[in-house]
Chains A and B, each alone.
Chain A
Amino acid sequence: MKKLTPILLLIPLSIFPQKVELFDGSVINTDSIVLKGNKVILSDTILSRDDVKSITFKVGEVEAASEKLPEDIRELVESRKGLIKRYGDYAGVIMLDEGHSRLNPDGTREYKYHFQGLILKENRRNWGTFSRYLNEDMEKINIEMARVIKPDGRIIDLDQSKIKTSKPQRGIVYFAKGKTVSFSLPNVEVGDIVQYAYTEYVFNPWNKEIFSHTWYFGGEDPVLRSIDYITIPRAKKLNFKLVNAENAEVDSTITDSCTTYTFSMGNVIPPLEEPMMPPRGDLLPSVHTSIFETWDYIFEWYAGFQRERMKVTPEIQSLVDSLIAGSETEEERTASLYHWVQRNVRYISVKGAVSSGVSGHPAVVTLKNGYGDCTDKSILFSTMLHAAGVEAYPVYVHTNDGPTLVKEIPSSYGNHCITEVFPKGGGHYFLDPVGTSNRYPSFSRMDHGIWAICAVKKRIDFIDVPPLESNRREYTYTIKIEDDGGAEITFRSQYAGDYESIIRGYWERLKPEEKRLYFSQMVKASSPNAVLVNYSLENLTDIFKPLRMKIVYEIGDFLETAGDMFILKLPEIGARYTRRELGLAKRIYPLVYMTSEEITHTFNIILPEGMKVSYHPEKINKKMNELQYEGGYSLDDNTLVYADDFKRRVRKVPPEDYIKFREYMGEITNYVKKPVLIKKVGGER
């Protein structure tokens, strides 16, 4: 028995197929794995540890099956003509968009999907290319059917050997474990119907208790029929909310073991594209579902990962102590750490399991790597703040280019992570350490006007758009005009808020020679005869201090001569108020900006002795809920002064206010471009 014992210990109890991936790219499936020292012993081979890249204990596969679906192909083919007539202006029409999610009592789950689409224009031939993300240690995919149905009723099935699993290309800063399953259907042409069906079986979900789901009834193409089935164990209840889906049909069927809910809509027309429109997810009809009625479970799950990662180690404490030495207030300490994390942890996103997916890596790991993504940086920043005696936690958000949170439906929401700070004096505010150049307390505009989920504090707060003065840009020009109409122009600018970080980040990235080139180009854009004299960027690399830019340039023919007149036009200001997003005469959807905006200009134009202003435009004043503008000229001896202040307090301009908003912006743009007429003293006009 004693001799047998060691052998018995080597016999695995696992009955699932296991996979060993080697560094040379090869893969070995095995029934048993033993790793000890430098050896990895499989069921029929022994490897060196140095050759082994990964071991997966349960593996999902990609399977293909030919399933005969009980439907009449002729019916499908015959419906084409009617659809072409009705939807001919669209690139394609989705005839069926059907999904069925099933939660099993043991927490595993399945998702079946069936797609049928009629291709009307060439740019929808890409429907013949299928691609689906797959985590092999969590799920498997069965491609049940994929085919092309020709106008004459011929069917061309997918050659199943063409289904491939590979790592998808992502940006250079992204690393993750998942793969994609893909195939291209052959012979796809305009006029064809593409059809496919697959099932994903999640045999190893990250959390067996969490089950939530969002279904959009439409997309970029019209949808004839969109159906979402959700089946859950009878003992559970589905919490759901319909958004923009007043016409959706809702039904449910109950059996002994389960309840199936059905949500469906027909004839869904996609929104028309407009510049700077709300996120598509906020416009499309949708249903949001969850088996939770409250956020408690999800809060606790996320918070568990976060707490585990937010440990103040001696290294972290020592670093924090060195960084905050000399800081007198809590704000100063927070600012020091905020700036440090931005500048010293570069953006690299490495995702492994769901814990790193939602909560990043432990603070000390991010510190040692010197890189991390939004979750990592927030974890580290929050941990460092704790070490400095400041309460703060990572919070989950969806950036403002994405759909708004549906608070009533607890779910794994968000595409980004920032930090919520709770100062000792009360209240709370937000910071986003993912950037590199945000001077405290500014943070990225993509986080303005959205909801933030704080798992540790179990609260959901709204991130307001910062006050106008936090988003202000100030431009000052001193223009000394010479007798010959030439001028020396001194430009100064100062910024606040996220705009400052954009400008700082832009100039910091340039080499000294590039800076000179780009400043030369900028002044040349103002006038082809402009010559750069000098420039400076004050505090460019000191993120604690405001960035100030100064450019001095000369323009030989600043005053335009038109016969016996001199014409003066304010440089650059017109371009600042010309807005490409105002091209449409009217809008269906709100015009959505990322944040508020304030711009001020001051021009001090010093005329020489021999010149006088003969005409300048009257003052202008525009005011409505969404914008306010005051601008005008004044004369002070021989100095002509122009000053203005533009304010846009809101992020969104509703369609009913858009026409007036556009009109006012047009008037402002035209006003600032109006010339000033100048005459020589004693001369005629």
Chain B
Amino acid sequence: MKRTIIVLLLILSSCSLHLAKRTPVSLGDMVYLNDGEEYHCYVREVNARWVVFETEEGTKRLPLSKVRSIDIQKRRKNYWWTNVEDIDDPVLIGALKTDLSQFKGLGYVNILTEKKLIVNPDSTYTVVIREIRGIVDDKGRTAGNLSYYYKHNNENLFIDFARTITSDGKVLHIREMAIEDASSYARFPSYDNLHSRKFAMREVKPGNFLDYRVRIEGKYSEDLPPLFDEILGDMGPTLKGKILIQYPEEMEISVRYDRILAPELTRKEDNDISYEVMSFEMETVSPIIKLPMKPPERFFSPRVVAGFKNEWGGISDWFDTNLKSSGTKIEGKTKEEIYENVLKGIKFVNIPSNTYSVIPKNPTETFNNRYGNSLDKTFVLYTALKENGFKPDLILVRSKDSGPLAEDVPTLSQFDGALVRCDGVFLDPSVESVPFGYVRPEYQGTRGLSIGTGEIVEIPFLEPEDEMSYTDRNIYLSEDGSGKVEEVLTFTGNDVLFFRNWKYLREEERRKQLESHINLVLPNASLKGYHIEHLEDLNPEMQITLDYTAPDIATEEGRYMLLHIPGINYTAYYVGVEQRPYPVYNENLSLNKNRIRIYLPKGYRVRYIPTAINYDSEPIKFTSKIKKTKKYIEYSDSYDTRMGLIPLENYPEYREGIMKMAEIPNRWIILEK
């Protein structure tokens, strides 16, 4: 018996050895020692006394007491592939035949981009994203640095595989140590949900191919109804893009698609369940071009949005009934007082509501915490206004960065923030310096959901006067070209939010900021005095008064003195190209005005002043005037941006206007003794 057993054991062990040789050992595990050393290895055994592992240099056996921890390499799909001959996936095999040389200069090419949403009968869902990329040149070296977001509370993300196929035929699988999961808002545990999983693929070099697939599995949650909002295209060209939505026959889904052809509709049977399948396909998506004033990608890329079928009215009713609106007593007789108390009493944390929960927290909780995101803080204002007898409407909104609202797909998850509308005025109680009635640019010119009416409403752009900067400057020129300057800067809108942050600076620091500012206007200027109006309060307007001197405002050349109009810096840089691939994107409308009066030095007269420039078009209007008297020259202008998104057909007239304006800084004023 014993001999037989021994023989059997020998046979079995030789078999296992043979198997061990055929199954390659990947040195993707990590062993960390207490003395700080670490090994890339394969861990063979851990027991009460030892850790046994294989390294490049052979087998090591260390006492457990020396080992701090071990990381195990996950064996992902097709982990046993080591070279091209092992590959049996026809899609990948086909992709590897792509001739990358035709994409020279583009960094990398997406040979295949596939995004799938699969909804199950129990309302769980899976999102699968696969990409096969070819690395064309050194520009593509970051194409293997990837990151995907998911919502940790009801979703989980898996990396099914991430492998590099090198030009010499090797298959390199991702290392576990180059994968990391992180919470996006770890510093605010009460909003902790959004996570990112990032990973770095190996050997991302010209001639190599990357193939990876990421899967997110989630279950339906009322707090965050699922939303599938995907685009095709990124910084590299895409040869083939596919978006697929699969759902049980009896379920109803809402879908909206833009800049992509209508889907092919098919049916599929799986485990006795019938599914509807919607397939969108696109050949050749151009790469995104880096360009100033480019809109967010969802404004111009092929896009598909899908969610469970619903009606906006029904959603707003449901939302209303689920509000935990036992309000909190916020003091205030007027809307403005209540607004200010909410604004300043609760610190704003910029966490989109659709990363945590579409239902606001109980206002008492937010108030007690003394911090909240846009939705929670706005909800506190909403309940406070109601309790004080006003009639507010809660408006759910979506920032422009996320792209336009897909109105055909009613779901609360499209919104990332909220406003209150009261007596026709929109209120945005977010950052602690937002004046009453001001809405941050990211929400201006968007469409949101009125909970009160159940309808989609327009949140208009503020008028240009409400986003204004006005410079009123008097310059007293001396005979040596230096000058004394008295200046008043007036701001409304977004500029107010920026400058009002100066209230957190010390007096000395504010002074230094202003010194830097005046030196941008006139080099080597010296600040003599200043005053800031409405720094600490919530007035919609702020004013900064400055007194300073500067040398060399004008250049003496014999009996002449030459100068440009000081402080006018219009540039045609942003309209350098004759044709743009994308519309021009302005976050808000605006009005910029200047009035600059230059008092002549003693003994000088005006020899030459430039002519005025005027331009009026749909996207912009510019008017300038210049007049001279015996004592002074006065220049004034007004530049009005009238459109948020300037379509391509309006670009030529926009460009022409900007180019005309940009002539002004080059124009000379000539004085003569």
CA distance A129 to B369 in the complex (A): 11
- B515 near A585 with CB under 8 A, answer yes
- A206 near B35 with CB under 8 A, answer yes
Does any Cβ of B come within 8 Å of A513's Cβ? Answer: yes
- B34 near A204 with CB under 8 A, answer yes
- A525 near B573 with CB under 8 A, answer yes
- B56 near A520 with CB under 8 A, answer no
CB distance from B41 to the nearest CB of A (A): 11
CA distance A369 to B40 in the complex (A): 12
- B68 near A58 with CB under 8 A, answer yes
Number of residues of chain A lying within 8 A (CB) of chain B: 131
- A53 near B71 with CB under 8 A, answer yes
Does any Cβ of A come within 8 Å of B43's Cβ? Answer: yes
- B180 near A175 with CB under 8 A, answer yes
- B56 near A168 with CB under 8 A, answer no
- B200 near A173 with CB under 8 A, answer yes
- B667 near A560 with CB under 8 A, answer yes
CB distance from B643 to the nearest CB of A (A): 21
Which listed residue (B46, B198, B503, B577) contacts A517, Cβ 8 A? Answer: B577
Does any Cβ of B come within 8 Å of A167's Cβ? Answer: yes
Does any Cβ of A come within 8 Å of B425's Cβ? Answer: no
**Which of A358-366, A444-452, A492-500, A629-637 forms contacts with chain B?**
A358-366
In this complex, what residue of A is CB-closest to B581? A513
CA distance A123 to B189 in the complex (A): 19
- A272 near B200 with CB under 8 A, answer no
Does any Cβ of A come within 8 Å of B390's Cβ? Answer: no
- A35 near B46 with CB under 8 A, answer yes
Which listed residue (A187, A353, A520, A662) contacts B33, Cβ 8 A? Answer: A353
Does any Cβ of A come within 8 Å of B520's Cβ? Answer: yes
Q: A275-B516, A353-B36, A510-B290 are in contact. Are A567 and B138 (CB under 8 A)?
A: no
In this complex, what residue of A is CB-closest to B501? A123
- B347 near A55 with CB under 8 A, answer no
CA distance A474 to B40 in the complex (A): 48
For B552, the chain A residues whose CB sits under 8 A away are 666-667, 670
For B573, the chain A residues whose CB sits under 8 A away are 521-522, 524-525
Which listed residue (B175, B181, B519) contacts A369, Cβ 8 A? Answer: B175
In this complex, what residue of A is CB-closest to B16? A37
Does any Cβ of A come within 8 Å of B12's Cβ? Answer: no
- B71 near A353 with CB under 8 A, answer no
- A187 near B71 with CB under 8 A, answer no
> Looking at chain A's contact residues, is the secondary structure mostly helix, strand, loop, or mixed?
mixed
- B139 near A508 with CB under 8 A, answer yes
Most buried by B among A207, A353, A567: A353
CA distance A509 to B68 in the complex (A): 42
Does any Cβ of B come within 8 Å of A462's Cβ? Answer: no
CA distance A163 to B32 in the complex (A): 28
Interface residues of B in 584-627 (CB under 8 A from A): 607-608
**Which of A211-219, A343-351, A414-422 forms contacts with chain B?**
A343-351
Which listed residue (A35, A169, A183, A273) contacts B196, Cβ 8 A? Answer: A169
Most buried by A among B205, B371, B508: B371
Interface residues of B in 1-45 (CB under 8 A from A): 30, 32-38, 40, 43-45
Q: A207-B35, A355-B37, A370-B202 are in contact. Are A348 and B145 (CB under 8 A)?
A: yes
CA distance A137 to B183 in the complex (A): 20
- B138 near A166 with CB under 8 A, answer no
Interface residues of B in 498-513 (CB under 8 A from A): 503-504, 506-509, 512
CB distance from A577 to the nearest CB of B (A): 9
- B69 near A54 with CB under 8 A, answer yes
For B608, the chain A residues whose CB sits under 8 A away are 562-563, 565
In this complex, what residue of B is CB-closest to A674? B555
For B516, the chain A residues whose CB sits under 8 A away are 275, 580, 583-584
CB distance from A486 to the nearest CB of B (A): 14
- B291 near A517 with CB under 8 A, answer yes
In this complex, what residue of B is CB-closest to A120? B504
CA distance A507 to B448 in the complex (A): 41
Does any Cβ of A come within 8 Å of B266's Cβ? Answer: no
Does any Cβ of B come within 8 Å of A252's Cβ? Answer: no
A521-553, CB under 8 A of B: which get 1 and which 0? 111110111001000000001000000000000
Chain B interface size band reads 35 or more
- B64 near A167 with CB under 8 A, answer no
CA distance A136 to B428 in the complex (A): 42
B98-117, CB under 8 A of A: which get 1 and which 0? 00000001110000000000
Which listed residue (A189, A308, A510, A675) contacts B37, Cβ 8 A? Answer: A308
For B188, the chain A residues whose CB sits under 8 A away are 129, 184
For A164, the chain B residues whose CB sits under 8 A away are 186, 189, 192
CA distance A50 to B506 in the complex (A): 57
Interface residues of A in 165-211 (CB under 8 A from B): 166-170, 172-176, 180, 182-184, 186-189, 204, 206-207
Does any Cβ of B come within 8 Å of A429's Cβ? Answer: no
Does any Cβ of A come within 8 Å of B489's Cβ? Answer: no
For A129, the chain B residues whose CB sits under 8 A away are 187-188
> Looking at chain B's contact residues, is the secondary structure mostly helix, strand, loop, or mixed?
mixed
Does any Cβ of A come within 8 Å of B462's Cβ? Answer: no
In this complex, what residue of B is CB-closest to A50? B75
Q: A52-B72, A122-B347 are in contact. Are A353 and B32 (CB under 8 A)?
A: yes
B145-179, CB under 8 A of A: which get 1 and which 0? 10100000000101000000000000010011111
Does any Cβ of B come within 8 Å of A46's Cβ? Answer: no
Does any Cβ of B come within 8 Å of A12's Cβ? Answer: yes
For A166, the chain B residues whose CB sits under 8 A away are 182-183, 186, 189, 192
CA distance A27 to B509 in the complex (A): 49
**Which of B350-358, B396-404, B521-529 forms contacts with chain A?**
B521-529
CA distance A249 to B139 in the complex (A): 56
CA distance A473 to B291 in the complex (A): 27
- B156 near A24 with CB under 8 A, answer yes
- B36 near A511 with CB under 8 A, answer no
- B49 near A675 with CB under 8 A, answer no
Does any Cβ of A come within 8 Å of B328's Cβ? Answer: no
CA distance A58 to B64 in the complex (A): 11
For A128, the chain B residues whose CB sits under 8 A away are 370-371
- A186 near B48 with CB under 8 A, answer no
CA distance A180 to B74 in the complex (A): 25
For A34, the chain B residues whose CB sits under 8 A away are 46-48
Does any Cβ of A come within 8 Å of B203's Cβ? Answer: yes
Which listed residue (B190, B370, B661, B667) contacts A187, Cβ 8 A? Answer: B370
CA distance A353 to B31 in the complex (A): 9
Which listed residue (B68, B527, B571) contacts A56, Cβ 8 A? Answer: B68
Does any Cβ of A come within 8 Å of B220's Cβ? Answer: no
Interface residues of A in 299-319 (CB under 8 A from B): 305, 308, 313
CA distance A527 to B562 in the complex (A): 19
For A25, the chain B residues whose CB sits under 8 A away are 156, 181
Does any Cβ of B come within 8 Å of A436's Cβ? Answer: yes
CB distance from A450 to the nearest CB of B (A): 25
Does any Cβ of B come within 8 Å of A242's Cβ? Answer: no
CB distance from A62 to the nearest CB of B (A): 12
For B662, the chain A residues whose CB sits under 8 A away are 524, 527-528
For A243, the chain B residues whose CB sits under 8 A away are none
B374-406, CB under 8 A of A: which get 1 and which 0? 000000000000000000000000000000000
- A10 near B48 with CB under 8 A, answer yes
In this complex, what residue of A is CB-closest to B573? A525
Shortest Cβ-Cβ A-B pairs, 4 listed: A521-B576, A583-B516, A666-B524, A528-B662
Residues of B within 8 A of A (CB): 30, 32-38, 40, 43-49, 56, 64, 67-72, 74-75, 105-107, 137-139, 141-142, 144-145, 147, 156, 158, 172, 175-184, 186-190, 192, 196, 198, 200, 202-205, 287, 289-292, 344-345, 347, 368-371, 432, 503-504, 506-509, 512, 515-520, 523-524, 526-527, 551-552, 555, 557-558, 560, 562, 571-578, 607-608, 658-663, 666-668, 670
Known: A121-B503, A175-B180, A184-B189. 9 other contacts (CB 8 A): A53-B176, A131-B187, A162-B190, A175-B178, A188-B370, A204-B68, A436-B141, A528-B659, A670-B551
What are 7 A-B contacts with C-beta separation under 8 Å?
Answer: A50-B75, A169-B186, A344-B205, A509-B139, A528-B658, A560-B666, A666-B523
